[in-house]
Every structure is written in structure tokens, then in C-alpha cells.
């Protein structure tokens, strides 16, 4: 049996077992999750409600570190009424599957990239536009202050989940197996793995390559076996997931600043008392800056850890050539959808302030 099929079967089995463990009650540790109980505090009633949080990356990732802390703080602040258990490394499945599990209430929470809420609500697609933001600080500022954020968040409730918070996910660049990329001309003929959205397929076409969308867990083997010439992602994921082993050319194209989102099922969110919800909302809002701070402190060390005799880092990329190539595609998106335009206009308004 193919390893992908085995992985899918295992995660389906784990989800079934987890569902059963929730039926018999609260408080148990399930699967390979990391719980984050506070020290010595117990729920007043003796019951702890366990929420499962799916994550597709490693325990070293800044988002994982911050979620672990959030879980502990939430447990303590609710006197042990809630425990969030983290399931890293796609243990519960790839992001698309975990979104479906959240929607159907099989699990309570997941961290997914922007394309997934974007598959149900157009607002999110604005963040998929290359070069929308000029810096990660600008993107984070937008997430924290723009009045349009509430409207974006509210738009998913009808699809069974709430957006608990925006999570910064760095700046994405290209990495390839055989050749560096110095300008958009070098993209010709390259097959690049992208996240699963038509916007990225169009993006790669505009850059002169072609897109092969797939889930994250398949990237390493796809590059190694030559199914794709490379992929694009942020520095943390490039190093943590060891993509540099199969794609040793990192080219700093900085073409996308696209966020991840922490999702929570309507049932879980609606079950919170007013007081517990206020705690949860506060912790989630604080996670934005915490992830960014952790990111900033991890990213340089990780890139510096790469062996430069094996990995070629190209920093002097002609970024304007990428911007020029994508301009008409971005324009078409803005023109064709009023919700995308609304977000785009709000970003421009913030920039012009
Ligand atoms: C980033 C992002 C993930 C996403 C991944 C991908 O690492 O943070 O949420 O899954 O890219 O390219 O699939």
C-alpha cells in the first residue's frame, strides 16, 4: 500500500478513536497529542472538556509553541474546564481534511492556511494575492486593526466554523532542486508545488512556470522524485520540514505574505460561557503578536543553520520582474469580486494613511 494511503487510513482511525474518547467523557489523553494542563489546577466540577487542535507542521514551529502556551493559559484561566490538545505533523490529516473535521464537529480546532477558508468565503482570497503587503509587519498591522477583519471573520460562521484568530506565517519564496531563480525569466518550464487554490495556479502561469497543487505532506517526495521542480514556502517550513535536502536552491522572491488561521467549530465556540469566551478571545488575539515575535527570533537562526556548501541562497532576486508579471492577474481578481476588492481597498487605505 502507498504510504499516502496508509497515512490517510491512520489519521481516519485516530479521528474515529478520538470521537469515541469524547463520547465517554472528558479529561483523557488521547493519541499522540501534547496536552498542556496547568500545574495542579482542577475544574471545579472535576470535568475537563478536551478540544483537539490539528496542526500540519512540527513541534518546533512558532505557531505550535504559541498554541502550547495558549492551551496552558486557557486551562489555568478556566480552572481546568478546558484543555486544548495539539496534534502536530498532520496526525489528524492534511489541512483540507481537518477543516472538514472541524466543520462536522469531529474535532474542535485546526490551523489551516488561507486557501481553506478561501474555499468557502471570497474575502480570504485577497490575501492570496502576491505582493499585497510590502512587509510582514504591515500584514500583521492590518490583521490587528482593520475594521474589515470582523466582516472577514464573520463570513465563515454559516459554514460551521469561527475564525479564532489570524496567525502570521512568514513571507514565501521559491525553492528548487536544480537551478536558482534570479528573475521571473528563470521560472520558465519549472513545475512548482503550490497550495490548493486556483489563484496559485494562475500565479504560477503568470510567472511563466506551472503549478502542481498538493497538500504539504506530499512535497518532500514530490520534489525528491522529480514530480515537481520545486515549491514555495516560508523559511521556517523550508528548514523545519527539511526541504533543503531535496531542493537546495533557496531564492528570495518574497512573493507572498499569506496568513494561517486558527479555526474553531461553531459547536465548540458556542458552548463557551460568556466569561470563558472572553478569556479564549483574548488569548487568541494575543497569539498574533506572540507568533510574530517567536517567528522573528527563530527565522534567522534556522536559515543560519543551513550548510552553505550544500544550500545556495540567492538574495538578489529581481522582484520587480515578478511584480510586473502578476499585476494583470491581481487586477483581474480585484475587478471580478466585490469582497476581494473590499479587502484590497482596505489594505490600500491602510498603506496610504
Ligand atoms: C505554510 C503555512 C501552512 C501551509 C504550508 C503549505 O507553511 O504556514 O499552513 O500548510 O505553508 O504550503 O502547505
Q: pLDDT by residue (tens digit) across 34-66?
A: 665 644 345 555 699 999 999 999 999 999 999
- Probe target for ligand 1 pocket from 64, 196, 237, 295, with the most ligand atoms within 8 Å of CB: 237
- Probe target for ligand 1 pocket from 89, 215, 230, 260, with the most ligand atoms within 8 Å of CB: 260
Distance 89 CA to ligand 1 centre (A): 12
Can you give the pTM of this predicted structure?
A: 0.91
For 69-109, how does the pLDDT look when each residue is reduced to its tens digit (9 = 90+)? 999 999 999 999 999 999 999 999 999 999 999 999 999 99
Predicted confidence band at 30 (pLDDT cuts at 50, 70, 90)? Answer: very low
Q: What is the pLDDT of residue 26?
A: 38
With a 6 A CB cut-off, is 110 part of the ligand 1 pocket?
A: no
Ligand 1 atom at minimum distance from 169 CA: 8
With a 6 A CB cut-off, is 197 part of the ligand 1 pocket?
A: no
For residue 161, is pLDDT > 90?
yes
For residue 22, is pLDDT > 70?
no
Predicted confidence band at 332 (pLDDT cuts at 50, 70, 90)? Answer: very high
In the chain, the percentage of residues whose pLDDT exceeds 90 is: 87
DSSP result, 52-102: EEE-SS-TTSHHHHHHHHHHHHHHHHTTTSEEEEEE-TTTT--HHHHHHHH
Q: What is the pLDDT of residue 23?
A: 36
Residue nearest to atom 5 of ligand 1 (CA): 216
With a 6 A CB cut-off, is 194 part of the ligand 1 pocket?
A: no
For 228-267, how does the pLDDT look when each residue is reduced to its tens digit (9 = 90+)? 999 999 999 999 999 999 999 999 999 999 999 999 999 9
With a 6 A CB cut-off, is 169 part of the ligand 1 pocket?
A: yes
For residue 1, is pLDDT > 70?
no
Q: What is the pLDDT of residue 17?
A: 53
> Across the chain, what does the average pLDDT equal?
91
With a 6 A CB cut-off, is 256 part of the ligand 1 pocket?
A: no
Residue nearest to atom 4 of ligand 1 (CA): 113
DSSP result, 243-295: GGGT--EEEEEEEE---EEEEEEHHHHHTS-HHHHHHHHHHHHHHHHHHHHHH
C-alpha grid cell for residue 345? 481597498
Residue nearest to atom 2 of ligand 1 (CA): 113
Distance 187 CA to ligand 1 centre (A): 21
Predicted confidence band at 24 (pLDDT cuts at 50, 70, 90)? Answer: very low
Amino acid at each position: 500500500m502507498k504510504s499516502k494511503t496508509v497515512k490517510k487510513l491512520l489519521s481516519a482511525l485516530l479521528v474515529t478513536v478520538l470521537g469515541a474518547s469524547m463520547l465517554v467523557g472528558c479529561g483523557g489523553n488521547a493519541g499522540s497529542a501534547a496536552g498542556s494542563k496547568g500545574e495542579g489546577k482542577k475544574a471545579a466540577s472535576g470535568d475537563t472538556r478536551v478540544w483537539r487542535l490539528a496542526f500540519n507542521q512540527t513541534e518546533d514551529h512558532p505557531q505550535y509553541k504559541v498554541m502550547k502556551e495558549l492551551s496552558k493559559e486557557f486551562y489555568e484561566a478556566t480552572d481546568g474546564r478546558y484543555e486544548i490538545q495539539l496534534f502536530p505533523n498532520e496526525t489528524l490529516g492534511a489541512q483540507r481534511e481537518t477543516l472538514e473535521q472541524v466543520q462536522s464537529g469531529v474535532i474542535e480546532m485546526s490551523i489551516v492556511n488561507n486557501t481553506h477558508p478561501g474555499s468557502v468565503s471570497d474575502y480570504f482570497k485577497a490575501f492570496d494575492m502576491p505582493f499585497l503587503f510590502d512587509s510582514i509587519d504591515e500584514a500583521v498591522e492590518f490583521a490587528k486593526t482593520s475594521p474589515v477583519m470582523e466582516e472577514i471573520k464573520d463570513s465563515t460562521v454559516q459554514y460551521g466554523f469561527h475564525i479564532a484568530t489570524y496567525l502570521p506565517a512568514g513571507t514565501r519564496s521559491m525553492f528548487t532542486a536544480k537551478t536558482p531563480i534570479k528573475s521571473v525569466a528563470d521560472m520558465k518550464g519549472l513545475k512548482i508545488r503550490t497550495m490548493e487554490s486556483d489563484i496559485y495556479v494562475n500565479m504560477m502561469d503568470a510567472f511563466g512556470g506551472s503549478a502542481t497543487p498538493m497538500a504539504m505532506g506530499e512535497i518532500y517526495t514530490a520534489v525528491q522524485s522529480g514530480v515537481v521542480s520545486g515549491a514555495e514556502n516560508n523559511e521556517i517550513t523550508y528548514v523545519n520540514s527539511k526541504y533543503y535536502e531535496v531542493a537546495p536552491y533557496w531564492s528570495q522572491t518574497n512573493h507572498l505574505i499569506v496568513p494561517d488561521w486558527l479555526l474553531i467549530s461553531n459547536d465548540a465556540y458556542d458552548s463557551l460561557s460568556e466569561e470563558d469566551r472572553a478569556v479564549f478571545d483574548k488569548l487568541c488575539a494575543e497569539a498574533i503578536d506572540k507568533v510574530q515575535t517567536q517567528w522573528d527570533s527563530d527565522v534567522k537562526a534556522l536559515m543560519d543553520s543551513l550548510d552553505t556548501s550544500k544550500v545556495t541562497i540567492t538574495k538578489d532576486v529581481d522582484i520587480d520582474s515578478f511584480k510586473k508579471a502578476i499585476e494583470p492577474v491581481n487586477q483581474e481578481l480585484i475587478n471580478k469580486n466585490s469582497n476581494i476588492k473590499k479587502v484590497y481597498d482596505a489594505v490600500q487605505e491602510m498603506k496610504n494613511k
